[in-house]
Amino acid sequence: MTVWLLQLVLVIALCNVCGRLAERLGQCAVVGEIAAGLLLGPSLFGVVAPDFYDALFGPSTLSAMGQVGEVGLILLMFQVGLHMELGETLRDRRWRMPVAIAVGGLVVPAVIGMIVATVSKDMLAGDAPALPYILFCGVALAISAVPVMARIVDDLALNAMAGARHAMSAAMLTDALGWMLLAAIASLSSGPGWAFARMLVSLLAYLVLCALLVRFVVRPTLMRLASTAHAARDRLAVLLCFVMASALATSLIGFHSAFGALAAALFVRRVPGIANEWRDNVEGFVRLVLMPVFFAYAGLHASVGTIDDAASWMWFGVFLVGGFIGKFGGSYLGARATGLEPRDAMLVSSLMNTRGLMELIVLSIGLQMQILPPKVYTILVVFALVTTALTVPLVRLTLRVQSRATPAMPGADK
């Protein structure tokens, strides 16, 4: 218990300090928090103080952190699902532009990721299952991060700009499609043929059951509890039980527990008052305690020392350049194809390269399912950190270019 409390103090303190430092440097806090997770791992802490590191974060001391990190991941995915406004995105004729941006921003980097994974597999992941590994690398390069993007849009006061709104909508679609693909990859990794079909059928059956359960049990219960003396407490107790049960169900089926949490959010998010009650009572604890634990636990499995030769660093560069250019170029082409002005298309493409938290969640799932070997996991964690760190400077550069071009093009903004 003493070691666990010391772990928690160190993790929360360092993540908070690094997050504030990142904000002072003009970055999002999540960039510093991801960096803090890496600093706590074998890449730095394990090198500077190996004995203390082994005593504090050795294999025998990580079980509690792993369990809390799993709970954090489940609640993080539930929060992500609560903020997925896919209905608004696809309403009327407004769906064309975000769908085009999402498809371009998903397909192009995914294809690049699969090509790079295919060529580099023998060197980086010789023992990994071929098809799940290749597909997983494609999804890892294609994912965006709606929570981090929303923070950037808010911090830079971009809410009124058309490009920022389209980027947010497209990122929601990209993440939704990405999670569907990730679910398929998870079923493929369990085995060929009948195992794949069985898992997909089981998942579909569970989603139908979950929808019925929400409609006839969970939603009526939550609505009835809204009039009680301790409405928020009672409703959140029911909600947390449902989220954990949903996570357990998908885990038993053979998928990751995160899929169950996401499904639970999508089914209950329209219950009146739930999103506000979650934000007021739970979200702060998740951000302050569970997110740092998740970042630290992810960082403990990433060791820059595993990228131990020139060839590995070369492949990191290939993943970085391919993922960045693929996401930027694919999003830009999708935006321009549906009539968005070049300046707004540049803003969309810059924002779509935000990966951050969502990328780390995806990579953690890949590592737990033994699809990603430690070296590739580390490469992609550093890739997520670098691309997220590049987003804010790139957005600011795009805005400066727009401001300079506006006087010369007074009628260009539509």
pLDDT for res 328 = 93
Mean pLDDT, rounded, for 243-254: 89
Over residues 255-279, the pLDDT tens digits come to: 778 888 888 988 998 888 888 899 8
pLDDT for res 269 = 86
Look at the chain and report how many structural domains it folds into.
1
Does residue 49 belong to any structural domain of this protein? no
The pTM assigned to this predicted structure is 0.80
Rounded to whole angstroms, the Cα distance separating 268 from 265 reads 5
Does residue 226 belong to any structural domain of this protein? yes
Does residue 19 belong to any structural domain of this protein? no
Of residues 114 and 304, more confidently modeled: 114
Question: Does the pLDDT at position 126 exceed 80?
Answer: yes
Over residues 74-109, the pLDDT tens digits come to: 888 888 788 766 555 556 556 788 889 999 999 999
**What CATH number did the domain enclosing 117 receive?**
1.20.1530.20
Q: Treating both helix axes as pointing N-terminal to C-terminal, what angle do 130-142 and 310-337 enclose, rounded to 10 degrees?
A: 60
pLDDT for res 410 = 46
Does residue 68 belong to any structural domain of this protein? no
Burial of 383 (0-12, 13-18, 19+ CB in 10 A): buried
**9-23, 145-159, 292-306: range with lowest mean pLDDT:** 145-159
pLDDT for res 414 = 41
pLDDT for res 210 = 92
Rounded to whole angstroms, the Cα distance separating 290 from 361 reads 13
pLDDT for res 94 = 64
Does residue 339 belong to any structural domain of this protein? yes
The parent domain of residue 399 ranges over: 73-281+306-405
Does residue 17 belong to any structural domain of this protein? no
Confidence category of residue 184, pLDDT binned at 50, 70, 90: confident
Does residue 149 belong to any structural domain of this protein? yes
DSSP string, 258-282: HHHHHHHHHHHTTSTTHHHHHIIII
Percent of the chain predicted with pLDDT > 90: 23
